[in-house]
């Protein structure tokens, strides 16, 4: 049992390390809004094309930022699943 717990801690440590190093880019509006997020869901940068601001449509900008965030979040989940599978060697049910 003790060896099992040590192995589980090692796997958890590997996953945390991979999540911290992971970077994804989420985008919306054909790349008009982009953001970079790490595996712990911290946003590191947001880029907005000037033409989005020229339109002065705050509601559209809010929607684009939210869509870019959701795109990045989805990519993080997919990469996390891939990392778990590579670390454990087991297929994941989700």
pLDDT tens sequence across 56-83:
889 999 999 999 999 999 999 999 888 8
**Which domains can be identified in the chain, with CATH numbers?**
2-88 (3.30.1310.10)
pLDDT tens sequence across 32-61:
999 999 998 999 999 999 998 888 889 999
Q: In this predicted structure, what is the pLDDT of residue 71?
A: 97
Q: In this predicted structure, what is the pLDDT of residue 62?
A: 93
What is the DSSP pairing of strand 23-28 with strand 33-38?
Answer: antiparallel
d(CA 29, CA 49): 10
pTM here?
Answer: 0.77
Contacts of 43 (CB under 8 A, 6+ apart): 35, 36, 37, 69, 72
Q: In this predicted structure, what is the pLDDT of residue 94?
A: 54
pLDDT tens sequence across 3-37:
888 888 888 888 888 888 999 999 999 999 999 99
């Amino acid at each position: 049992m003790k060896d099992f717990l040590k192995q589980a801690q090692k796997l958890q440590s590997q996953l945390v390390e991979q999540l911290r190093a992971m970077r994804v880019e989420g985008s919306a509006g054909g790349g008009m809004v982009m953001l970079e997020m790490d595996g712990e869901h911290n946003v590191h940068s947001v880029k907005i094309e000037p033409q989005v601001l020229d339109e002065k449509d705050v509601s559209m900008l809010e929607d684009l930022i939210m869509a870019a965030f959701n795109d990045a979040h989805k990519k993080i989940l997919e990469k996390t699943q891939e990392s778990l599978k590579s670390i454990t060697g087991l297929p994941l049910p989700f």
